[in-house]
Amino acid sequence: MRRLIVRALARTLALAAATAAIPLASAAPAAADRVVVGGFPVDVADGPWTVAVSSRDRFGGTRAGQFCGGAVVGPTTVLTAAHCMGEEVLGGPPGRVRDLKVIAERTQLLSGEGREIAVSEVWVNPGYDADTNAGDFAVLTLAEALPQSDVIGMAAAGDTAYTPGTPALVYGWGDITGGGDYATGLRAAQVHVLSDADCLRAYPGGREGAYLPSSMLCAGEAQGGKDACQGDSGGPLVAEGRLIGLVSWGSGCGRPGSPGVYTRVSDVVTRLPGA
């Protein structure tokens, strides 16, 4: 069953004030895989909805406190992974993290570009199941508004962007090798949306985790090599110009036959407050 490998990591980061990198849920540390997670540098202007979630108090300043990713879905609304807001990661409830921020419009984490905006409220999906990772999303409300041009639309159920075989891009500042080599510049990897049947074959249950079509989708390449990895959790998966997934979990990074699993945004749309 999927477990978040964050307790020891968060403790290490808090003690060392070192690099911030919260893993995806995984059965084993990706460092054991030593695989290349294929991707390429991108400018945030090409994906302005992509933001870093940050706390220097908790994770130090080496990477501007970045520990997860997020997607801007409204001028003051960011989606991220529920597991990023867990007490094991943050050391307590989100409300106790005094400097929880979203870094927007910034390609290089350590540059002065863009904006750092305080998070004024955190709403974690009450239906999130930490054992299965179903419903793995949270809503961050920002203290200041971002421009509408930074907002990406969410793909509802039935959207053609979910069609198996559709090319998609996943964005983040996470591990680029599976061995703890974290990017300071924004990167993206092109993957393809996979069918539910393929995802169920990859993750039928047991040690490798169970794929749940109602709240998850998966994407990758048959030969592996392109994937999200540690530190990318909560970041956007985008197809046909619309948000279809949030980085959630997987088995290692870029392994053949083990695609990345994402929170299905069509399920998120129905569960948001006020929906």
Q: Give catalytic status of residue 159 as yes or no.
A: no
> Which structure tokens are listed for 134?
């179903």
Nearest of 111, 107, 100, 112 to residue 48 by alpha carbon: 107
Catalytic residue among 33, 136, 150, 175: 136
The residues facing 170 across adjacent strands are 189, 237
The residues facing 74 across adjacent strands are 77
Catalytic residue among 215, 233, 251, 266: 233
Nearest of 271, 8, 30 to residue 174 by alpha carbon: 30
20's CB contacts (< 8 A; 6+ apart) are: 13, 54, 55, 58, 59, 60, 62, 63, 65, 66, 67, 231
Q: Is the dihedral of CA 253, 101, 241, 156 positive or negative?
A: positive
> Which structure tokens are listed for 25?
């849920």
- Separation between Cα atoms, residue 202 and residue 41, nearest integer Å: 29
Q: Give catalytic status of residue 136 as yes or no.
A: yes
Q: Give catalytic status of residue 192 as yes or no.
A: no
> Which structure tokens are listed for 270?
């129905």
DSSP annotation of 149: G
80's CB contacts (< 8 A; 6+ apart) are: 53, 68, 69, 70, 71, 137, 138, 140, 233, 234, 246
Q: Do the bridges between strand 115-124 and strand 138-142 make them parallel or antiparallel, or are there none, so unpaired?
A: antiparallel
Question: Is 4 in contact with 21 (CB distance < 8 Å)?
Answer: no
Please report which helix (H) or strand (E) contains residue 6, including its range. none
Catalytic residue among 33, 83, 175, 248: 83
CB 145: neighbour CB atoms within 10 A? 12
Catalytic residues, which ones?
83, 136, 233
